[in-house]
Amino acid sequence: MPWGNPGEHHDFEPQRHDDGCIEVIGFTMTSLAALQVGGHGERLCQCRQVVLSTSKAIPMQVDGEPCKLAASCIHISLRNQANMLQKTKRRNSMPLLNE
């Protein structure tokens, strides 16, 4: 798996959700199809922002719908980060206050 474990890429830091880095992964047509059965792409870099330039129209998906994106320059960066909340598990040994 490309993220979480640097593996043979010793120049990559282990992935963390709070490090402010974007993990850039590349896919071939074969590796993209292999995702369905547990495959993965090739780790390209870790960075704080990405500029993706295309010289011709490329197929993509928006909200799950296929479309073509004209030649363009796409800027990707982290904007905000939100903390996630998780409901704590209720202990059977502690009664609820309203019982």
CA angle 4, 8, 14 (to 5 degrees): 25
What is the average per-residue pLDDT within 17-24?
85
DSSP string, 23-34: EEEE--HHHHHH
Q: Which tens digits make up the pLDDT trace of 41-88?
A: 888 889 999 999 999 999 988 888 999 999 999 999 988 777 777 777
Q: What is the pTM of this model?
A: 0.59
CA-based Rg of the chain, rounded to a whole angstrom?
20
pLDDT of residue 51: 94
